[in-house]
Structure 1
Amino acid sequence: MSQLFSPVAIGPLQLKNRVAIAPMCQYSAVDGLPQPWHVQHIGRLAISGAGLTIIEATGVDAQGRITLEDTGLWNDEQEASFKRILTDIRTYSDQPIGVQLAHAGRKASTHAPAKGGEALGPDEGAWETLAPSAIPFKDGWHTPKAMDEADMQRVIQAFVQAAERADRAGFDLVELHAAHGYLLSEFLSPLSNQRTDEYGGSPENRMRFPLRVAQALRDAWSRTKALGVRLNGTDWVEGGVALEEVTAFGRTLHEMGYDYLHLSSGGNIAKAQIPAREPGYQLRFAEAVKKAAPEAVVMAVGMIFDPQQAEEIVANGQADIVAIARAALDDPHWPHHAAAALHSDEDLPVQYFGASKGVWAGYREKAPA
């Protein structure tokens, strides 16, 4: 029996298999509102055969957006729009769907990557950005405001209110975004956090604000639903966040009651030179956290597209769940095809039964590429 296609529990949430669709920014929202693009994007992932889909980084407030085109959960209209999408999906899919809640920090107020990805100009709708320290992400970008206690309280409250909206909208899971150089990741790294108060310096101090956010979110989010976190394994720069700090942070979140830990990397330092992004290049970070907290559910991600590699990750105990992203964009039915390649039940929607391996003579017997 395939280990990748065996069931797993994430806290109170039962997944039918160990394939997750990782968050992927679509940069297609208007005033934080999902658009028809999101309807088809989320809808097709909901029939992908994955055990779980987590939708894109969604701003907890307008200031925390990466771009003007980010989705948001800070007002009633956004909440209602997501609720309509999820209500429709529940008429044809019971796949759990989560949302990643995020604040972009000093990487906010930019153009979408397809539009160059640089900082917005004053006549392009730019806004003030926040960070642990007044250090721009790179030359030509906004110099952020170093957060004071009032700023911290506002951000904490924004995460809490966004979680409450996510619950009412019908999401099954929330993922706290503490990776990729966004606000919480900025606090964790000594390269972007140069504070001299109780929020900077030692690893314990740098974790203090992210853990305040995490605790507030844990208190606000229903225990009948799942809660996880995405965190960086490295900054890919000398002097950045250390792996022992990462494992300590992950272990603390697990003990706090977080149901899974999702390991990624990078994005905090513009000049970082990331090694060749080979399939599974971030796996060692997930494996390190799994060793430090063996009872925690750990999710691995990073250019994984070969079903056999995904199977081995789970079978070898390196991680409990494998998250895919680009592979799902390339092939929205990657989980179905991977199941067939691993001799497991494809679990196709009944409407697509005619395309299953067993009944369609044209089925191509090869792993997704």
Structure 2
Amino acid sequence: MNKFLNQCKGLLNSKIIPRIVVIGNESCDLDSAVCSISLAFHLSKCPSFVETVTDWERIVPVLNLTRAELPLKTEVIYYLQAQQIDLDSLICKDEANFADAAWEHTKFVLVDHHMSPHQANVVGVVDHRPVDPHSNLTDKVFQYIEPVGSCATLVAKLIDQSNMFAKHQEEYMLLFKLLYGAIILDTVNFSEQANKARELDHYMAQLIEQKLGISEPVSNHRKTLFETLVDKRRDVGSLDSLQILSKDLKIIARNGRTVAIPGFPILVQSYVQKPNAESNLLTFAQQTRSDVVVLMGMHVTTGSDQVRRDLGVVNIGDAVLWEKIITALVSSTLPNLSLKRRSGDEFLGGQFFDQGNIAASRKQILPIISNVLDKL
């Protein structure tokens, strides 16, 4: 794998423009990171499943974050290094100058998202979130979109459907290890309370466990891996309250308005108590040109897989939009977030809620916010 990644990095260093870029979403969580790496490697070995990709085209994975932002992804760094991936061999988006005119004919394969600034050049999509009506995906685009717990499940299925594992067993064992960690983390270790896992997630996890030859009881192996990844993800001790806002970030910009939605590995009520949280959130809003910031927090209790969620909605410069978002979130029925307003919070005049429906993640909340922006 490091040989493949170094070859990809070498292409950029030699000023050779890749013809195919495989890129995850801008939050660059573990799911997006391992999916972009794994699918790019698989596409380089088996390009035929995307009809518009030929076997001579140069294919590179790109992490959808800057090199400076990579240290914020504590669980990503940990898990890649645990699989002996050389971080220096990775390509971050600021190391691939997409704005350069030389890149205008580069094609893109999107994983763990299907909306991109490069939408006109998208030739493939592998995603597990609801289809955005603004995506404008055509029949010419390879599409594998299915509502499962982890996008890694879909990438693993594509790999399993090929005959590449038998031909390149050692390399593909590594791919399955990478994808397995994301599946375990994204499904909250198949927690019934979180209700994120689907039948295909279960099936692919079991298949990977068989291929990896896991000898210890599977439940113990999953539990240990999950708790390790959760601990690494919520290890924000080295990050200040400004850096935490960019650790897992989504931004929606539409109709002249911008909403930033940072996701935390801690509860929002813990974040607002951090030093300089108010001033840093205002700095963050200025940097992202956000009119409203929606804070989403989650806490997983180690050992029990119990999940808590909360959220906050902070007005930066558009009280009307702020109120519309709050109304939409509180009144939503698909999904019903079961929000309970928390009193006593005075953080920048925001509204804060405990979220009773812990199965509703940002993936389900994004369309609610998008719908508000569409109606402005």
Q: TM-score, normalised by structure 1?
A: 0.30
Tell me which protein shows more helix as a share of its residues.
2
Select the structure with the greater relative contact order (CA < 8 A; seq sep ≥ 6). 1
Q: TM-score, normalised by structure 2?
A: 0.30
